[in-house]
A = this chain, B = another copy of it.
Amino acid sequence: MDDHGLELRTTITGEGMLRLTLDRVPLKQPGEGELLVRIEAAPINPSDLGLMFGPADMDSLARDGEALTARIPDRAMGAMRARIDQPLPIGNEGAGTVIAAGPDRQDMIGRRVAMLGGAMFATHRLIAARDVLPLPDGASAEEGAALYVNPLTALGFVETMRAEGHKAIVHAPAASNLGQMLVRICKADGIGLVNIVRKPEQAAMLRDLGATHVVDSSQDSFREDLTRAIEETGATISFDAIGGGEMTSTILNAMEAVAQKNMDGYDRYGSQVLKQAYIYGALDLSPTVLRRGFGFAWNIGGWLLFNALQKLDPEVRARMRQRVADEMTTTFASHFTARITLQDALDPDTARAFNAKATGAKYLLTP
């Protein structure tokens, strides 16, 4: 066994600089109940990028010796106080092969596993055996790399919808890997789903997957198309990863327009139909703008996988995990458009490219 590994770490200095470095770290022998995994694949999710680059000015990305650096705008430093000068590891999830194990888990050596838990953008990860998902024989690391964040988020949307008494979902942007999983889940489960995409080719791709309601925000008829799709599905809950701008507001106003069609007369307070919107990402960091034409029966909240899972019954969570394992290569298959090494991540042009968060473009780190 090697005695050192490499770990990608992000630091924001007190002087307002971001430093991304690939640090040599000593490898520890796994203790009781622990595994040492050689990481073979880890997806770069939008949720990783927030930690990786923080509010850095991406135009200022530059190489400084072995490090990738960028300036943090002064106005953004206040919110970074809690992480100043701390080198933080990155990477929510990944997959790899167990190369060492505690005395009680020697049976796991050589097994390929999927993992959740941070610090996955590294050559190795020490992890509790109970926190890994052993992959079926023959499964590749790439197939196992993204079995937590997107699959559980997509299933989580459906569970939140059920728990809060809604019957159909609006999702934006819908062409992402996560969006594709949601299309497959809703199709299999008979749940109405309104998919909002930003380009005609994304609409075509989702229709090929079997999506019934796809509306394209780049079209002039977007608002009418959205309203019609909401009417046809009865959707009263939405999940929006864009966050900034008017998407959530547009969805709520379309839901209210549908609700008002079913009202007997005018009510200055709007309809009584509760319209629920969740913001689960921040692809657009600009402010959320709400044009409040949707009455008073509405609710907007942050949606975070970890918090949502905690609200669910343990048996629901177990059912979700089992489904992900069973449908790994179908419902929950991810599609990656580029593969890069840990060293590549420190290249300014490469970093700018994977930080663009273009829907449909998905990077896989292969340490």
A234 at interface (Cβ–Cβ under 8 A)? Answer: no
Copies in the complex: 2
A307 at interface (Cβ–Cβ under 8 A)? Answer: yes
Q: A287 is contacted by which of B291, B295, B306 (Cβ under 8 Å)? A: B291
A289 at interface (Cβ–Cβ under 8 A)? Answer: yes
How far is B277's CA from A332's CA once the two chains are assembled, in angstroms? 36
The verdict on A279 contacting B301 (CB below 8 Å), with A266-B83, A307-B272 known, is no
Return A92 CB to nearest CB of chain B, in Å.
10
Chain B: CB-nearest residue to A288: B290
Which residues of the other chain, B, contact A279 by a CB distance below 8 angstroms? Answer: 292
Which residues of the other chain, B, contact A265 by a CB distance below 8 angstroms? Answer: 82-83, 86
Chain B: CB-nearest residue to A243: B292
How far is B268's CA from A50's CA once the two chains are assembled, in angstroms? 7
A163 at interface (Cβ–Cβ under 8 A)? Answer: no
The verdict on A82 contacting B266 (CB below 8 Å), with A249-B287, A301-B300 known, is yes
A260 at interface (Cβ–Cβ under 8 A)? Answer: yes
Return A281 CB to nearest CB of chain B, in Å.
10
The verdict on A290 contacting B287 (CB below 8 Å), with A82-B263, A298-B302 known, is yes
Which residues of the other chain, B, contact A263 by a CB distance below 8 angstroms? Answer: 82
- Whether B288 lies near A292 (C-beta < 8 A) is yes
How far is B286's CA from A67's CA once the two chains are assembled, in angstroms? 45
A62 at interface (Cβ–Cβ under 8 A)? Answer: no
Which residues of the other chain, B, contact A260 by a CB distance below 8 angstroms? Answer: 82
Q: A79 is contacted by which of B82, B293, B300 (Cβ under 8 Å)? A: B293
How far is B82's CA from A300's CA once the two chains are assembled, in angstroms? 26
From A83, A267, A288, A303, name the one whose CB has the most chain B CB atoms within 10 angstroms.
A288
A329 at interface (Cβ–Cβ under 8 A)? Answer: no
How far is B282's CA from A277's CA once the two chains are assembled, in angstroms? 20
Q: A301 is contacted by which of B243, B272, B299, B303 (Cβ under 8 Å)? A: B299
Chain B: CB-nearest residue to A51: B268
A296 at interface (Cβ–Cβ under 8 A)? Answer: yes
Return A272 CB to nearest CB of chain B, in Å.
7
Which residues of the other chain, B, contact A306 by a CB distance below 8 angstroms? Answer: 269
Return A241 CB to nearest CB of chain B, in Å.
12
The verdict on A296 contacting B307 (CB below 8 Å), with A82-B265, A266-B86 known, is yes
A139 at interface (Cβ–Cβ under 8 A)? Answer: no
A304 at interface (Cβ–Cβ under 8 A)? Answer: yes
Return A242 CB to nearest CB of chain B, in Å.
11
Chain B: CB-nearest residue to A86: B266
- Whether A300 lies near B300 (C-beta < 8 A) is yes
A297 at interface (Cβ–Cβ under 8 A)? Answer: yes
26 contacts between A and B (CB under 8 A): A50-B268, A51-B268, A79-B293, A82-B263, A82-B265, A82-B266, A83-B266, A86-B265, A86-B266, A88-B266, A244-B292, A269-B304, A279-B292, A287-B289, A287-B290, A287-B291, A289-B289, A289-B290, A290-B290, A296-B303, A296-B304, A296-B307, A298-B302, A299-B299, A299-B301, A299-B302
